Structures are given as C-alpha cells and as structure tokens.
Amino acid sequence: MSFQIRLAQMEDIAGVVALQQKAFPPPFDPELHWDPEHIEAHIRVFPLGQWVAVSHDGTVIGSCSNTLISEERWNLHAPWYRTVGGPSLEGIELNGNTLYGLDISVDPDFRRQGVGRSFYEARFEYVRTHQLTRYGTACRIPGFVESGETSAENYVQNVVTAEMTDRTLTPLLRYGLTCLGVIENYMPDPESLNHAALLEWKP
C-alpha cells in the first residue's frame, strides 16, 4: 500500500473530519470528534505541526494533530483539556520545548501498514529539527475494561512488559515511546475508564 505523509492543508479538512467517525467509533463520544473549525484552527495556529496521510488517489487515510507546550505545562501531567487549552489549540505555547500530540487516527482499512509509524517519524523529526526537549502525549487504553484488570496501573504495566496487548498503547510503545505512568480523568473515554498512559520520547 502506498501512502504519503504531508502537512495538512485546508482542503483536507473534510477528509480529516470524516476519518474521526471511522477511527473513534462508539462507545467513544462523537461530541469529542474534531469539527471542521477545530482542524481549520490547528492549521492556522500551528501549520507545521499538523499532518495527514493520503493514499495514491489523494484520500485522507490518517491524520495527527499536535501543539506546543512549555516544560511547566508538561510537568503538570494534567488532563487533555487543561494541557492543550481546548480543541482549537487555545493553550499553545509557541516557545514551548515539548511537541504534544493531541491525536492520531488511521483509517481502519489501512491499519498495520506503517501509517502510524510514519506519523511518529514526522513527530520525532520535528522535535529533532526544532531542538525541542521531547515529544509527549497521553494515550487511550481501550483494552483496559475488557482486560478484567482492576487497576489501570497494572494494566498499563502488563502492556509495557508485553504480557498484554492494547490496540492503541501497544503500537505507540513500538514506536519507542517510554511510559511514565497513568493519568486519571484524562478525557471521557468509556473503554479506558477515562484513564490514559503518559508517554514521552526524547531525542
């Protein structure tokens, strides 16, 4: 499968929004999907930090949004909204030393073919090129509830040691991110019981 990773353009907005519905199906709350004005704001506010993956015919098959935050903000390890300031990058800190990943989505029909890895290579390259301290994010753990584990910390530890597989956290660990812990009440997410794994990559 051939695909290209490139910076998002205004004409990609409809494709990115349509992809959200495929990539985050129920029980994920559709109210949390990007609206067109959110993507428009991402491209306007931080154009060098928004990427899409397009197939050979130009269809958007993946997207990832990013912002910049300071060391102080990063160290709070706060929930999504407080960290990024809102869905239109309201809290961006343009001189921040941390590239922070808001989301990554790959079309289910194009998964496990390296699209997610390519987005991460673009993120890491941005960190290197701009001499930032790190890439950071917090990752859903959608296999938590169905795993039967009673504690999110134990579940995440089992995924880190590869005793368990999580369809979202496992790929991100394969990209070389280090797990620093678990954030409670990160965002409404029934499958993760609102938990997220805090992840970091340093060049």
Ligand X SMILES: CC(C)(COP(=O)(O)OP(=O)(O)OC[C@H]1O[C@@H](n2cnc3c(N)ncnc32)[C@H](O)[C@@H]1OP(=O)(O)O)[C@@H](O)C(=O)NCCC(=O)NCCS
Which string of DSSP letters, residue by residue, matches 26-41? Answer: TTS-GGGSPPHHHHHH
CA distance 193 to 189: 6
Nearest to residue 196, comparing CAs of 166, 164, 175? Answer: 166
Instruction: Report the residue number, 17 or 95, with the smaller CB distance to ligand X.
Output: 17
Residue nearest to ligand X (CB): 116
Task: Show the binding pattern over residues 163-202: x = contacts ligand X (CB under 6 A), - = does not.
Answer: --x-xx-xx--x----------------------------
Lookup: tokens for 196: 């997220």
19 touches ligand X by CB under 6 A: no
CB 99 within 8 A of CB 132: yes
Instruction: Report the residue number, 132 or 187, with the smaller CB distance to ligand X.
Output: 187
- Which residue in the set 61, 69, 99, 104 belongs to the binding site for ligand X (CB under 6 A)? 104
Lookup: tokens for 106: 């790959």
- Secondary structure of residue 119 in the 3-state scheme: helix
77 touches ligand X by CB under 6 A: no
- Which residue in the set 39, 61, 139, 182 belongs to the binding site for ligand X (CB under 6 A)? 139
106 touches ligand X by CB under 6 A: yes
- Secondary structure of residue 185 in the 3-state scheme: coil
Applying CB under 6 A, the residues found at the interface with ligand X are 23-24, 103-106, 111-117, 139-140, 165, 167-168, 170-171, 174
